[in-house]
Structures are given as C-alpha cells and as structure tokens.
Amino acid sequence: MGCVCMKLKKFRYNDPKVLASHTYSKPFRYEEENHEVLASQTYFTINEVEFVHELFKKLSSSIIDDGLINKEEFQLGLFGNSKKQSLFTDRIFQMFDTKQDGVIDFGEFVRFLSIFHPKTPQAEKVSCAFQQYDLWNTGFIEHEEVKEMIMALLKESDLILPDEIIESIVKKTFEEADFKRDGKIDMEEWKELVAKNPSLLKNMTIPYLKDITTMFPSFVLKPDIEDNNNNF
C-alpha cells in the first residue's frame, strides 16, 4: 500500500471566508520554551527555530490566539475545516502532543517537526514511522491497525477500494514483514522491512526544512496515497 506520505500544502485557513466563520477570543498566552534550548535539543539551528515559530504562530492563532494549537486548529490547518474527523489527523496530533494534554505547545511542535529535518538520523525516522502505525501504542503493529490506517488514508484521498483488496494488501505486508510469524510486526521486524524497502522513509524528510530560512513556505503535514501496493 502507499506509505503515510507527508507533503507540503499551503494553509487553507488563509481564506477570509474560513476565518470569518470562527469566533475569536484572547485567553492567557502560553509561555514558550527558549528558542536556543530548542535548537540545542533538535536538528534545527536557532535561525530555523525562529522561522518555524512563524509557522507555529499562524496555526496557533487561527481560532484562539493563546500560543497553543488545539485539535480544531490542527484540523483547520490540514483541511480548512475545524470539524472534520480523521484517524490520520488524530494520530499525528497525538504524536505532536507528547504531554497528552490536548494541545500542542511550541516545544512539542518543534521537536516533532524536527524528525522530518534532512539532518535527522535515519533511526529516529524509522521509529517515528513505526509509531504512526502503532495506533494502540502496544509496541507492535497489528493487522487491524494496518487495515484501519489504509482505510483512513484512502478516505482522505477520496479513494475507494473493495475490502478484499485492502485485506490482500494487509496480508501481503505481513507476509513480508512478520518473519516471526506471530501475527504482529515489532520494531525489529519493522527495521528489517525498512532496510529492504528504503522508500518507506522517503516521506519522513521534508527538504524545505533545511532551507526554511531562505524560502519560508506556508505548509502543513497532510496524508497522501502512493500507487505502490508493495509497501505501506
């Protein structure tokens, strides 16, 4: 199946009609982490952190200007619709929201986005890609998790496949990856799968992050489907 692709998209909520449909308020401002500290803990330079901050401000002020990205603002940035439900969006939001408090602060935003930096070691990208499919946070990728993610990605791309084809994709994936034959894919098996299929990680890097200080784009992470049924 197509892997969880991450590609650059322009912010949809720049449309005044979208913005006008929301009520704004100004609660307390969240105190952000020091940018120099964040640069030392990620693969961004201090200058890059400053430019990422501009991106963060656009997202975090789209509905409530409080210095935090809530679920509605996250969905608004992805779809131009703060009410649209999506398994993919929920999962990525959870991965950004490491404190699991229902909002994304700037520190969380920078740290997770750093995984997609061109300078980030492959081992970190492998781990992140694994977590995307480990929906139940068990440390394993199971049959139903893969099927749910495939169906969610197809829905996001307005594609429809018969259930038997989806099942065949999942079956083929497990035949290749689950060499322990225990019905689940652990990290060791995932690393082996990635080693055989490096293309699984090609969308774990956003090239623009390397040049963000010279060509600042308005972008968000959005799922896509590739026409490659050999891998996830």
Of 82, 116, 150, the residue that ends a domain is 116
pLDDT at position 214 is: 56
Q: Is residue 208 part of a domain?
A: no
Residue with the two structure tokens 């990422």 = 52
Same domain, 97 and 59: yes
Looking at residue 29, what is its pLDDT?
54
Range in 80-94, 154-168, 187-201, 204-218 the model is least confident about: 204-218
Question: Which of these ranges, 102-111, 121-130, 183-192, 221-230, has the smallest mean pLDDT?
Answer: 221-230
Domain membership of residue 212 (yes or no) is no
Q: What are the pLDDT digits (tens) for 101-160?
A: 999 999 999 999 999 999 999 999 999 999 999 999 999 999 999 999 889 888 877 888
Partners of 8 in beta bridges: 221
Burial of 159 per CB tally in 10 Å (0-12, 13-18, 19+): exposed
Per the structure, the count of domains in the chain is 2
CA distances from 126 to 45, 133, 189 (A): 23, 12, 11
